[in-house]
Amino acid sequence: MSNVKLAIVFYSMGGTNFQLSKWAKEGAEAAGAEVRLLKVQELAPESVIEGNEVWKKTVDATKDVPVATSDDLEWADAIIFSTPTRFGNVASQMKQFLDTQGGLWASGKTVNKVVSAMTSAQNPHGGQEATILALYTSMMHWGAIIAAPGYTDQVLFGAGGNPYGTSVSVDQDGKMIEDVEGAVKHQAKRTVQVAEWVKKGSQ
């Protein structure tokens, strides 16, 4: 059986979800997956980004990361999404990407993709769980298989104990409050493992 193909699709304004995605890539590759690290298209005007030092720094840091496409999703056996929380929902950039996958969905190519999600917000109760659940609602429409971390490893408790997917709080200086690296890597490994089971069962 060939290795699991994993697409990690993120949106990041302050760099947090980019870092979460890089940790996920490390965890997935350690589990033997072939990984594509991808960003969604930025929708904000350049004039707005230029006026925000942190945002501009993130855009510069991710300039060499490929923009995710429908072809990437079709290629993947599994997908990990990482998006900041926006009013208890996914960022508009991520939502726009999901909303443009109608053709893929209509042709049945989203069915049985194994998916998992991560997020960040400025407060522990700033909509993090709602954001992940909102994304999972779309995944149910896709016919995807959700691989939530649940409480499958003790490392999750030190990271805040979110069973839906890793979430992290970010302080006013843009630094992560909880230590979530281990939880992210566990979630990535679990996603790959579930995808292996699905892939093996379908062959």
pTM of the model: 0.96
Domain limits, the chain:
5-201
Output the pLDDT for position 125.
87
Determine the topology of domain 5-201 in CATH.
Rossmann fold (3.40.50)
Region 172-189 average pLDDT: 94
pLDDT score at 1: 61
User: Could you tell me if 17 and 11 are in contact, meaning their C-beta atoms sit under 8 angstroms apart?
Assistant: yes
Does residue 84 contact residue 14 with C-beta atoms inside 8 Å? Answer: yes
| Pairwise CA distance, residues 69 & 57, whole Å | 24
User: Which residues are 35's β-sheet partners?
Assistant: 6
**Residues with Cβ < 8 Å from 114, sequence gap 6 or more?**
77, 78, 79, 144, 145, 147, 191, 194, 195, 198
- pLDDT, tens digit, for every residue of 41-94? 999 999 999 999 999 999 999 999 999 999 999 999 999 999 999 999 999 999
Distance CA 96, CA 101 (A): 9
- DSSP sequence for 121-145: ESSTTSSHHHHHHHHHHHHHHHT-E
